[in-house]
Amino acid sequence: MDQKQRSSFTYPPRNNSPKESFNPNYDYPQFNSQNRTESPYTPSQFFNSQAREWDPHALLSNLSFLEQKIHQMQNIVREMIRTNEGQNCNTSELTAQRQLLTTDLTSTIIQLISTAGSFLPTIRTSLLSGNAPIPQLGSSILSASSAPSPSAYQPNPSPDYEELTKGWGENVVESAGQIQIEDLDVKEGEDVGQDGDTLPIGSYEVLQLEKEEILAPHTHFCTICGKGFKRDANLRMHMRGHGDEYKSPAALAKPAREPGSQPIPVKRYSCPFVGCKRNKEHKNFQPLKTLLCVKNHYKRSHCEKSYTCSRCNTKKFSVLADLKTHEKHCGRDKWLCSCGTTFSRKDKLFGHVALFQGHTPALPSDEVKGKNEEINDKDDSGGVGYNDGDEYLDMKGGYFSPMVNFDSFSFEGLDEFSRTTFDPTENSFSFLRSGSPDFARKDPGN
C-alpha cells in the first residue's frame, strides 16, 4: 500500500523530452519535407552546451546565423515576387515556397528566442518550450495548457532541453494564469493575510496534488485485493484478513518515522486550480495546511455542489460534512437580512449587516426586496461562511496525519517545480508559443 501511495506522490522521472534547437551553422536546405525532419533541427552540441552559461562568442555566431537566415528569406520572397510578376505561376511551386517561408520564419523566431534566452542572465536555463510528460503529481497545469507535444518534432533528448521544456511549458501557463490571477485579486484582495499562517515564503515545501487525486474517495489501497480505504489504520485492519503475516504487532502498528532521519520539512499544499488564491502561482499565495484542507477547499471552491439539503431544497454543498452541519440548524434560520440571506443567529445577521453597505435586518413581515440584485454582493463572500473552513479543519489536521504518510518522501521533482517562480521577462516570450498554433502543428514527422 505504501508503495502505491509512494508512486502516486513521487515525481516520476521525466522522459527525456526532445527539444527544439537549431544548428547555427546550418545552411538553408533544399526544400524537402523529408529532409527537414532530420537535418534542419539537429541540435548543435555547441549551442546546447552554451545554454546554461552565457557565452558572447556563441551569441555572436548565433546572431550572424540569424542574419544569414533572414537574408535567405528575403531572397525567397524576392523570388516569389518575381515569379508573380512573370505571370508564369506554377501553383505548386508557389505553395511550396510559401510553406518554406512559414517554416523558416517560425524557426527564426525560435532561434531568436533561444539566443535571447541564453543571453538574459535573469532567466535560469529554461527557455524553449516543450512538455515533459505530465507528471502524476503536480503538473496538471501543464496538461491544462494545451501545450503541444514537442516530442513530435524533437527527436533528440537532452537534459538541457528538459529544463527548457519545462520552463516554456510553465511560461505558457503562467501567462494564462496571470490574467486570471489579476481578476481574482480584485475580489480576494481584502482577505489577504487573514490566514493565521505566518510561515515566511520559502520556509516550507509546497505540494500540489492533482484534481483526480484530490477527489479520489480512497487514498489507501490494498495491494492484494485492491480495495480502497480512507485511512491507513482501516487498511491495516483489512490486511489482517489476508494472512497471518499481517497480524503481527509490527504490521499493525502505525508506520513509525525512521529515527535519526532528517528533520521533516514543513509541508504546505497548493490547490491545482490555476488562479485560485490557494494556488502557488497566485501573487498572494496562501498555502493550505493539510491534505484534508486541500480536499475540502477544492471541493468547496472548484467543484459542483452536489449535496442539496433535503429540508430547504435550496442550500447546496460540495462537502458532505457541510451539508450535515447545515441540516442541524436548517429551518431554524429566523434572522433575515434585507438581501434575503437568513441566519440562525442574531449576531451573525448583525455581523453581516455591519459588513455590507445598505443591508438591514428585515422585519418579520417585510417583503424581501431586491433579493436578486443584492444577492450578488454577498456571493463572493458566499465564501464567508466557509472561508474559515480551511482553518477550522486545520485544527483537526491531527486526526488526519496518520494517513498522510508522505512526510518521509523526498519531492525532488516538486522541489524544482515549486522553485519555478514566475518571471515577467520570460513571460514576454510566452505569447509566441501559445499564439502560434502553426508552429505547434508544423511538424508531423516522427
Partner 1 sequence: MCDITAVLTVDLLAQVLDWLHDSRDLKSCRLVSRAFLQAERMHRRAIRPLRLGPLPVLLRRYVGSLQSLDLSSCPSLDDSALSLSIPCPNNLRSVSLSRATGVTWRGLEVLASVCPRIEAIDISHCVGFGDREAAAVAKACWLKELRIDKCLNVTDVGLAKVAVGCSRLEKLGIKWCFEISEIGIDLLVKKCLELRELDISYLKVGNESLRSIASLSKLEDLALVGCEYIDDEGLYFLSNGNCSLQSIDISRCENVTSVGLTTLAEGQQRLRKINAGNCSPVLTSTFVSKLCTLGDTLIILKLDKLQLLASALEIVGKNCRNLLEIGLSKCNGVNDEGISWLVEGCTNLSTIDLTCCLLVTDKSLLSIAACCRGVKCLWLESCVLISEKGLDQIASCCMDLKEIDLTDCNVNDNALKCLSRCSELLVLKIGLCSGVSDIGLSFIGTNCSKLLELDLYRCTAITDDGLAAISNGCKRLKKLNLCYCNQISDTGLAHLQLEELSDLELRGMVRITSSGITAMAMGCRSLTQLDLKRCYSIDDAGMWALAQYTENLRQLTISYCTVTGLGLCHILGSLRCLQDVKMVHLSWVSIEGFELALRASCGKLKKVKLLGKLQDVLSSELLQTLQARGCRIRWVNKPLVFKG
The Cα–Cα gap between 23 and 65 comes to: 9
Instruction: Closer to partner 1 by CB, 153 or 335: give it.
Output: 335
Q: Per-residue DSSP letters for 47-100?
A: HHHHTTS--HHHHHHHHHHHHHHHHHHHHHHHHHHHHHHTT---HHHHHHHHHH
Give the up-direction half-sphere exposure of residue 356: CA atoms within 13 A in the CB hemisphere: 24
Instruction: Closer to partner 1 by CB, 46 or 356: give it.
Output: 356
CB of 194 vs partner 1, minimal distance in Å: 19
CB of 326 vs partner 1, minimal distance in Å: 23
Segment (H or E) for 432: helix 424-435
Exposure class string for 112-125: b at 16+ Cβ within 10 A, else e:
bbbbbbbeeeebbb
CB of 339 vs partner 1, minimal distance in Å: 12
Instruction: Closer to partner 1 by CB, 361 or 397: give it.
Output: 361
The Cα–Cα gap between 323 and 307 comes to: 7
By CB under 8 A, tell whether 361 contacts partner 1: yes
CB of 384 vs partner 1, minimal distance in Å: 17
Instruction: Closer to partner 1 by CB, 122 or 365: give it.
Output: 365
Of 13-21, 254-262, 268-276, 352-360, the window that binds partner 1 (rule: CB under 8 A) is 352-360
Instruction: Closer to partner 1 by CB, 253 or 354: give it.
Output: 354
Instruction: Closer to partner 1 by CB, 41 or 335: give it.
Output: 335
Of 81-89, 165-173, 219-227, 355-363, the window that binds partner 1 (rule: CB under 8 A) is 355-363
Count of positions on this chain that bind partner 1 (CB under 8 A): 10
By CB under 8 A, tell whether 350 contacts partner 1: yes
Of 91-99, 161-169, 320-328, 353-361, the window that binds partner 1 (rule: CB under 8 A) is 353-361
The Cα–Cα gap between 164 and 58 comes to: 18
Of 101-109, 317-325, 356-364, 380-388, the window that binds partner 1 (rule: CB under 8 A) is 356-364
Specify the 3-state DSSP secondary structure of 288: strand
Specify the 3-state DSSP secondary structure of 310: coil
Instruction: Closer to partner 1 by CB, 155 or 361: give it.
Output: 361
Among 45, 74, 84, 360, binds partner 1 (CB under 8 A): 360
CB 129 within 8 A of CB 433: yes
Q: Which pairing describes strands 267-270 and 307-308: parallel, antiparallel, or unpaired?
A: unpaired
CB of 334 vs partner 1, minimal distance in Å: 11
Of 94-102, 322-330, 358-366, 368-376, the window that binds partner 1 (rule: CB under 8 A) is 358-366
Q: Which pairing describes strands 205-208 and 267-270: parallel, antiparallel, or unpaired?
A: parallel
The Cα–Cα gap between 229 and 53 comes to: 50
Exposure class string for 88-100: b at 16+ Cβ within 10 A, else e:
eeeeeeeeebeeb
Among 247, 346, 369, 371, binds partner 1 (CB under 8 A): 346
Instruction: Closer to partner 1 by CB, 250 or 354: give it.
Output: 354
The Cα–Cα gap between 384 and 157 comes to: 50
Instruction: Closer to partner 1 by CB, 220 or 352: give it.
Output: 352
Specify the 3-state DSSP secondary structure of 273: coil
Q: Could you say which residues in the range 362-421 bind partner 1, by CB under 8 A?
A: 363
Exposure class string for 242-254: b at 16+ Cβ within 10 A, else e:
eeeebeeeeeeee
By CB under 8 A, tell whether 359 contacts partner 1: yes
CB of 342 vs partner 1, minimal distance in Å: 14
CB of 347 vs partner 1, minimal distance in Å: 5
Helices (H), 189-272: 211-215, 232-239, 249-252
CB 361 within 8 A of CB 353: yes
Among 85, 304, 347, 373, binds partner 1 (CB under 8 A): 347
Residues forming beta bridges with residue 207, ordered by sequence position: 269
By CB under 8 A, tell whether 186 contacts partner 1: no
Of 52-60, 247-255, 347-355, 391-399, the window that binds partner 1 (rule: CB under 8 A) is 347-355
Instruction: Closer to partner 1 by CB, 256 or 354: give it.
Output: 354
Phi then psi for residue 128, to 5 deg, are: -70, 155
Instruction: Closer to partner 1 by CB, 253 or 363: give it.
Output: 363
By CB under 8 A, tell whether 250 contacts partner 1: no
Exposure class string for 133-166: b at 16+ Cβ within 10 A, else e:
ebbbbbbbbbbbbebbebbbbbeeebebbbbbbb
Among 358, 370, 424, 435, binds partner 1 (CB under 8 A): 358
Q: Interface with partner 1 by CB under 8 A: which residues?
A: 346-347, 350, 353-354, 358-361, 363
